[in-house]
Structure 1
Amino acid sequence: MSQPREIAPGATYLVTRRVLRRHLLFRPDAAINQLMVYVLAVSARRYGVEVHAFCMMSTHLHLVVTDVHGVLPRFLQFFHRIVALGTKVLRKWEGPVWDHEATSVVRLLTQAAVVEKIAYVLANPVAAGLVRHAREWPGAKADVDEIGRGMLHAARPSVYLDPTNPQWVEEATLPLALPPAIEQDNAEGFRHQVAAELERQEREAHAQVERQGLGFLGAEQASKVSPYERATSFEGLRERNPTFAVGRDQGDAWRNAAAAVRAFRASYRAALERWRAGVRSALFPAGTWWMYMFHGASVNDVVLAV
């Protein structure tokens, strides 16, 4: 049984989902880029989710988003489903698109964590040895200078989506919002922080590629590989599944965050035991989502103090 997860309105997350068996189904081209931006724009607007950064790699997808209304599971269910169905039509693909592992959802609890994870998302093509600089990646993505002021546009794809259905608008717009803790007056400083961290991660990637005696594939070649091939680079087993991040050198932030997670889980399990015993008045902790949405359980409106 998976661990209970707190779904808190206003929380910011790094979300990652992988393609089945590392097939290159999201190999960058105009059609898949259009599908990704369009569906992300429609999904974000439908659920009131703010998108700060994203990068579509050939084998996986990264998002950094803020769940304004506490509906992240609904947003991800809708978004991932439409992306998968559109991809199946575009690629003439039979069977699942997404990996069987659960989506990775990491809550970003500090500004340092937000800066580091946005840079991590944008630096992914460099770390993978595909392009020397993040800006060269031809897949759907956000650029640093677009955060807080950029608008991406995509026309409705010609595949899968019914043009007579009003939810599939003719053109969708995706604003790239500032994270909620960043004031507009500090937007430029925030972008500078992300750019500096991105440069640091790019330098690390360049050094790693050099140590391995390899080179970068290049944007043109990355766009020419077959989407039906599979990535051949080594990838270790994913044993860890973190639920939060605080960033480097954040003092006691990690310990405090870990204590809050333990407190939430302990309170949730205690309420669940009462519920299973037939006590329908059991009070679940604030942030409980599944039991509230699907079973009508009572949820405390007070966040647990640690």
Structure 2
Amino acid sequence: MSQPREIAAGATYLLTRRILRRHFLLRPDATINQLVVYALAVSARRYGVEVHALCAMSTHLHLVVTDVHGVLPQFLQFFHRIVALGTKVLRKWEGPVWDHEATSVVRLLTPTAVVEKIAYVLANPVAAGLVRHATEWPGVKVDVGELGRGVLRAARPSAYLDPENPQWVEEATLPLALPPAIGQENAESFRRQIAAELERQEAHARAELERRGLRFLGAERASTVSPYERATSAEGLRGRNPTFAVGRDQGDAWRTAAAAVRAFRASYRAALERWRAGVRSILFPVGTWWMRTFHGASVHDVVLAV
């Protein structure tokens, strides 16, 4: 049984979803890029999700978003479904598109964590040995200068989506928002911090590739590899999937966050046990989503003290 997860309105997350068996189904080309941007723009607008950063790799997707209304599971289901069904049409692919593992959802609890994880998302093509600089990646991505002020646009893909259905607008726009922890007055400083962290991560990736005697694949080759091939680089067995991140040198922030997670899970399990015993008046902790959405369970309106 999976651990209960708190879904909090206004929380900022790093989200990662992987392609089945590391196939290159999202190999960057015009049609896939169009599909990803359009699907994300429509999904974000539908659920009120603010998008801060993204990078579509050939084998997985990274997003940094803020779930304004506490509807993250619905947003992910809708967005991933559009991308999967559109990819199946574009690639003439039979069977599942996404890995059987659930989406990795990491809540970013401090401004430092937001800076580090956005830089991590932008640096992904460099860390993967594909291009020397993040700006060279031909897939869907955000550049540092676009953070908090750029707008991505995509026309409705002709594959899969019915032009007669009014929910599929002719052109979808995706404004890139600043994370709520970053005020507009701090926007330039925020971008400078991410640029510095991105440079640090890129330099580390280049040094590691040189140490291993490898070369970067290059944008052109990355764009022409067969989408039906699979990544052959070694990948260790998946370790723990973190629930939250606080960033480097944040003192007791990690221990405080871990205590809050444990408190939520304990409160949730105690409430669930009472619910299963037939007590329908029991209150679940703030952030309970599944029981509230699908079973009409009541939820506390304040966070319980840790």
The bucket for the TM-score relative to the shorter chain is over 0.9
Does 1:134 find its partner at 2:129?
no
User: Percent sequence identity over matched residues?
Assistant: 86
Alignment of 1:60-75 (within 5 A): 60-75=60-75
Q: Deviations over 1:134-173 (max 9, x none)?
A: 0000001111110111001100001000000000000000
Which runs of 4 or more aligned residues in structure 1 lie more than 3 Å from their structure 2 counterparts after TM superposition? none
Return the alpha-carbon distance in structure 1 between the equivalents of residues 221 and 10 of structure 2: 40
Return the alpha-carbon distance in structure 2 between the equivalents of residues 188 and 239 of structure 1: 36
Give the equivalent residue in structure 2 for 1:39.
39
Q: Deviations over 1:86-135 (max 9, x none)?
A: 00000000000000011100000000000000000010000000000000
Return the alpha-carbon distance in structure 2 between the equivalents of residues 198 and 276 of structure 1: 48
Aligned AA (1:283): L
Give the equivalent residue in structure 2 for 1:22.
22
What is the CA-CA distance between 1:50 and the residue it aligns to? Answer: 0.1
Return the alpha-carbon distance in structure 1 between the equivalents of residues 115 and 7 of structure 2: 21
Aligned AA (1:141): K
What is the CA-CA distance between 1:181 and the residue it aligns to? Answer: 1.2
Give the equivalent residue in structure 1 for 2:217.
217
Give the equivalent residue in structure 2 for 1:178.
178
Return the alpha-carbon distance in structure 1 between the equivalents of residues 131 and 206 of structure 2: 10
Q: Deviations over 1:30-80 (max 9, x none)?
A: 000000000000000000000000000000000000000000000000000
Return the alpha-carbon distance in structure 2 between the equivalents of residues 61 and 235 of structure 1: 17
Alignment of 1:53-202 (within 5 A): 53-202=53-202
Is the 1:286–1:302 contact (alpha carbons within 8 Å) kept by the matching residues of 2?
yes
CA RMSD, 1 decimal: 0.5
Give the equivalent residue in structure 2 for 1:239.
239
Give the equivalent residue in structure 2 for 1:302.
302
Does 1:279 find its partner at 2:288?
no
Is the 1:13–1:65 contact (alpha carbons within 8 Å) kept by the matching residues of 2?
yes
Does 1:289 find its partner at 2:257?
no
What is the CA-CA distance between 1:282 and the residue it aligns to? Answer: 1.2
Return the alpha-carbon distance in structure 1 between the equivalents of residues 33 and 63 of structure 2: 15
Q: Which runs of 5+ in 1 are unaligned?
A: none
Aligned AA (1:285): P
| TM-score of the aligned structures, taking structure 2 as reference length | 0.99
Q: Deviations over 1:207-232 (max 9, x none)?
A: 11011000100000100100000000
Is the 1:260–1:304 contact (alpha carbons within 8 Å) kept by the matching residues of 2?
no
What is the CA-CA distance between 1:239 and the residue it aligns to? Answer: 1.9
Does 1:2 find its partner at 2:29?
no
What is the CA-CA distance between 1:305 and the residue it aligns to? Answer: 2.1
Return the alpha-carbon distance in structure 1 between the equivalents of residues 25 and 120 of structure 2: 22
| TM-score of the aligned structures, taking structure 1 as reference length | 0.99
Return the alpha-carbon distance in structure 2 between the equivalents of residues 202 and 303 of structure 1: 39
